[in-house]
Amino acid sequence: MGRLTGKYALITGGTSGIGLATAQAFLAEGAQVAVTGRNPQTLQSAKALLGDNAWVIPCDAGDPEAQATLAAQIAERWPHLDVLYINAGDVTHGPVAEWQPAAWDRLMAVNLKGPYFLIQALLPQLRNPSSVILCGSVSAHIGLPGSSVYAASKAALLSLARTLSAEFLPLGIRVNGLSPGPVKTPALNKLGLGETEQKTLQDDIAKLVPLGRMGRPEELAQAALFLASDDSSYMLGTEILVDGGTGNL
């Protein structure tokens, strides 16, 4: 029997990268899995890869009204929710001088506002016991230049892991953070770089990691599986860093 047999799990931003790898890991452990995404191409490719075993749902992670709609869809089809993995995120980086209010608002909507109101909307459906996993980032710890807005959003999300754990304790809902370090995902392809520049960037990023390489989505998926399962039943309001040692610098 799998570690998630009989459980229902929702993964936001689950159509590529870490989220997709986690969906595959959850399915392999017996869960009923739903994933969300916004890009039509990744939605289609996730459907093809995951097949009929997963429910692929178009959803804008930064729209609070869309979160309410998503919660209603889940309630209509599933009896309850055992696992919620907030993984969708905006990874935009840039120097302070270049940030504009609209871009700030969009990143904060995707990384903080949307997740907050999704949790609120799903609260009646989260089972006792259940697990909520919030995707943080090592950037919340290391002060990387250019990451000011992104890191602030992730630090806020990790703070929610602590405060919501206290508030939801009587409901049997555990909330924990999962913070990746540099991971090789399709998000790197969204930077508009040529092949040579892309390779140089990845090499530069790998140099920041004591282990000397970027992480793999599958490595984060295994950590998410641990937090989703009963193996982590004694963990509450804390954070797992899967970062190759980056946060220790």
- The residues annotated as belonging to the active site are 150
Q: Enter the tokens of residue 82.
A: 């055992």
Cα Rg of the chain (Å, integer): 17
Residue 167: what are its φ and ψ, rounded to 5°?
-70, -35
Strands (DSSP E) found in the chain: 8-11, 32-37, 54-58, 81-86, 126-135, 173-180, 239-242
Smallest CA-to-CA distance from 237 within 124, 181, 158, 156 is with 158
What is the greatest pairwise CA distance in the chain? 54
From CA 93, how far away is CA 248, in angstroms rounded? Answer: 22
What are the structure tokens assigned to 77, written together? 């089809």
Q: Given phi > 0 = left and psi -120 to 50 = alpha, else beta, which region is 16?
A: beta
The two three-digit tokens of residue 221, written as one number: 């998926």
